[in-house]
């Protein structure tokens, strides 16, 4: 799902002018523009200095976001403050050009140009700089490049599963197809599975209303090798994604209509850039989640056992990891969720050429895990004093059990995520 990360740094330039450097990473679209606007309003309430928006890692910006920026700059200028943009990708600059705003908003090539612009004249008095010529383009990992400068690939095979070919599919094909590449549209999920090996896709675009779309996703993401192929799922207007989360294997990205076609272009290009690197190191990648119900917990255990059975671990290793996974899920269900059925447990399964790692996350508040990890590493499997029941139960053996089943046991964040890692050899 498109996301936006925002990081703010503060410094002074020139003769002490305060500047807030706002680093943006991701998408500026309908789903993120509200949080973006909230950040701008927070900086406005601070009431001092200039604001610089760094677009180095922005994959896409829609008209609503650009409008918010324009309104915000006008607000700052009324207070004698300035706003500037830097490191714009060709995609974002094209949006500004189409809206006729390139000559209105100051768009600078880099930090040095921003500093010179801010210190050369009072806010709003310096002429907006022309489009930088010869400026270094953002790296492929940083933002979406224009079509002529797209990542050079020997082939790019895209498989789209859609009920029919229409204007929308034609536009996607024209935009994403490259020389020596293929853009193939199939009309059913069963045909897509049948043609998968022949097409050898680098990206799959799946229209959700297709019959069997969830089964297709399950088949791809649970099979070693195929699972690393990125899947973008397009949900129709009104789709209740929440109801899907009873037990769901996730696609890599999704868009919910209405969305702008440029968002899909940006997501597709981002996945196509990522996939070759992932393919070098990853053998299997699956992400699933489920609500805290006994039937779902049992199903998750069966799925994990199936994934581990394909991992290359020896039988003893599969048994050990399965036991650790079952304990991690039970801890999440019992201790973090209190078996509240509406709460979800999230699982990521990752296999590379050296190890298998499973991360189990819950929606609980976390806990102080450090003392438990320390005891688990120092004590024998079951301390003698624990062999006798105390107040009616043993308990507190989950972390020692997991620690002895895996090569590395890690708790992340506040303790509501645990990562289980076992080496293949």
pLDDT at 98: 66
Question: Is domain 292-423 annotated with CATH 3.30.70.60?
Answer: no
Q: Which residues 6+ apart lie within 8 Å of 330 measured at CB?
A: 297, 398
Backbone angles phi, psi at 304, to 5 degrees: -60, -40
Per-residue confidence (pLDDT) for residue 68, from 0 to 100: 84
Q: Quick one: DSSP state of residue 82? A: -
Within the chain, all domains assigned CATH 3.40.50.2300 are found at 151-278
Please state, in angstroms and rounded to a whole number, the distance separating the CA atoms of residues 81 and 50.
6
Output the pLDDT for position 45. Answer: 87
- CATH code of 151-278, in short, is 3.40.50.2300
Does a cis peptide bond (omega within 30 degrees of 0) precede residue 74? no
Please provide residue 122's backbone torsions phi and psi, each rounded to the nearest 5 degrees: -60, 160
CATH architecture of 4-120: 2-Layer Sandwich (3.30)
Which residues, given as ranges, of the chain have pLDDT below 70? 1-2, 30, 98-100, 127-154, 378-397
Q: Enumerate the CATH 3.30.565.10 domain ranges in the chain, comma separated.
A: 292-423
Res 313: pLDDT: 96
Note every long-range contact of 130-138, with CB atoms under 8 Å and residues 24 or more positions apart, other chains counting: 131/93, 131/102, 131/107, 132/108, 135/109, 135/110, 136/109, 137/89, 137/90, 138/56, 138/57, 138/87, 138/89
Q: What's residue 278's pLDDT?
A: 86
**pLDDT at residue 152, as a whole number:** 47
Measured distance CA(207)–CA(159) in Å, rounded:
11
pLDDT attached to residue 390? 37
CA-closest candidate to residue 55, choices 100, 30, 21, 16: 21
Q: What is the pTM of this model?
A: 0.70
- Looking at residue 50, its pLDDT comes to 94
Helix (H, G, I), strand (E, B) or coil at 175: helix
- 3-state class (DSSP) for residue 217: helix
Q: How many CB atoms lie within 10 A of CB 214?
A: 15
Query: Which residues make up the CATH 3.30.750.24 domain(s) of the chain?
Result: 4-120
């Amino acid at each position: 799902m498109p996301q936006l990360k925002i990081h703010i740094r503060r410094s002074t330039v020139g003769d002490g002018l305060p500047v807030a450097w706002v680093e943006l990473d991701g998408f500026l679209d309908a789903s993120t523009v509200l949080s973006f606007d909230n950040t701008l309003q927070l900086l406005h309430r601070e009431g001092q200095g200039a604001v610089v928006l760094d677009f180095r890692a922005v994959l896409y910006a829609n008209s609503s976001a650009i409008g918010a920026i324009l309104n915000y700059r006008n607000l700052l200028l009324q207070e004698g403050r300035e706003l500037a943009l830097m490191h714009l990708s060709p995609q974002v600059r094209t949006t500004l050009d189409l809206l006729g705003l390139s000559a209105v908003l100051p768009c600078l090539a880099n930090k040095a140009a921003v500093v010179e612009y801010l210190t050369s004249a009072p806010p709003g008095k310096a002429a907006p700089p022309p489009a930088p010529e010869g400026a270094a383009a953002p790296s492929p990992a940083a933002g979406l490049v224009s079509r002529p400068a797209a990542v050079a690939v020997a082939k790019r095979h895209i498989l789209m599963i859609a009920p029919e070919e229409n204007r929308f599919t034609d536009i996607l094909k024209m935009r994403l197809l490259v020389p020596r590449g293929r853009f193939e549209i199939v009309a059913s999920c069963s045909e897509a599975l049948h043609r998968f090996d022949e097409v050898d896709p680098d990206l799959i675009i799946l229209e959700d209303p297709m019959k069997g779309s969830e089964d297709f996703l399950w088949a791809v993401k649970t099979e070693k090798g195929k699972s690393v192929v990125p899947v973008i799922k397009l949900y129709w207007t009104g789709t209740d994604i929440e109801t899907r989360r009873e037990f769901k294997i996730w696609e890599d990205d999704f868009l919910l209509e209405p969305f702008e076609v440029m968002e899909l272009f940006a997501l597709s290009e981002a996945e196509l850039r990522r996939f070759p690197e992932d393919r070098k190191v990853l053998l299997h990648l699956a992400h699933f989640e489920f609500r805290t119900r006994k039937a779902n917990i049992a199903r998750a255990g069966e799925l994990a056992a199936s994934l581990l059975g394909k991992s290359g671990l020896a039988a003893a290793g599969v048994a050990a990891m399965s036991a650790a996974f079952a304990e991690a899920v039970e801890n999440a269900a019992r201790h973090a969720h209190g078996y509240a059925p509406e709460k979800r447990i999230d699982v990521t399964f990752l296999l590379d050429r050296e190890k298998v790692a499973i991360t189990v996350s819950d929606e609980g508040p976390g806990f102080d895990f450090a003392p438990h990890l320390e005891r688990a590493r120092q004590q024998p499997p079951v301390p003698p004093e624990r062999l006798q029941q105390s107040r009616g139960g043993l308990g507190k053996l989950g972390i020692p059990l997991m620690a002895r089943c895996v090569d590395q046991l890690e708790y992340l964040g506040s303790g509501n995520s645990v990562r289980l890692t076992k080496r293949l050899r």
